A = this chain, B = another copy of it.
Amino acid sequence: MSATAPEAHPAGPETQPQGRRERKKQRTREALIDAAFDLFAEKGFDATTVEEIADAVDVSSRTFFRYFASKEDVALTFQEEQFQALLNALTARPPDEPVITAMRRAVVGIMEAAERGELGFATERFDCMMTLMQDSTTLLAGSLEHAQKKQATLTRVVADRMGVDPAGDLRPHVVAATANCAFRAAADMIQEYREACGDVSLAEAADQAFAIIEGGLNFPSAPRPE
């Protein structure tokens, strides 16, 4: 996940590959992703070795690393797709919406789409990622890192929409960070108190989180009972 990424998550939408070579490459790539998730689901992220993934597709592990920069990378394919979808959704929002509203609708929309399996991947994959990240700190770290790195892009888009310069103006940075923040807050509550909050969907919780943030967070401290 460090310096040189061969071609980290290119995975554009449906481009009809011209040559046989391209098609074969695409097939290998997807086979690796499938195999990886099967194994992850079966034995967890950490317990699955790159060699096992590669063997399942009958390529050498060296080849695996020609497709993915790291073991995390293959798992974060979907996160990358989600992020790209978010960018699209955000720019597609009507231009007269306040930024935070546009962001909120875009984020919630994407999460709903993901939950309905309407993005490039199945719902199980989405759930699987959530589960995996609870058990694997390295995967969690990778996911957070990915999100963090993408935040710079998001900031630029937000700044553009606001018509301000991201150098010197903190506001677009905060708005972009808020998207992250709302998602994390929602995911945290659901993961840590799964039984208590029952079947609240991530999308719903994120929407609530945005509502809370937009309210300004001005909650009183409780009077000390004692």
| Chain A positions near chain B (C-beta within 8 angstroms) | 1-3, 46, 95-100, 102, 136-138, 140-142, 144-145, 148-149, 151-152, 155, 161-164, 166-168, 170-171, 173-178, 180-182, 184-186, 188-189, 192-193, 196-197, 205, 208-209, 212-225
Contact = CB atoms under 8 A, between A and B. Distances in A.
B196 A167 contact: yes
Number of copies: 2
Contacts of A95: 221, 223-224
A1 B188 CA distance: 20
A166 B189 contact: yes
- Which of A151, A177, A193 has the most chain B CB atoms closer than 10 A to its own CB? A177
Nearest to A1: B137
A174 B168 contact: no
A193 B167 contact: yes
Contacts of A152: 188, 192
Contacts of A148: 140, 144, 184
Contacts of A102: 221
Contact of A178 (B155, B170, B217): B217
A197 B188 CA distance: 33
A178 B223 CA distance: 23
Given A141-B145, A171-B219, A184 B189 contact: no
A161 B193 contact: no
A216 to B, nearest CB: 4
B182 A174 contact: yes
Nearest to A191: B152
A145 B147 CA distance: 12
Nearest to A45: B2
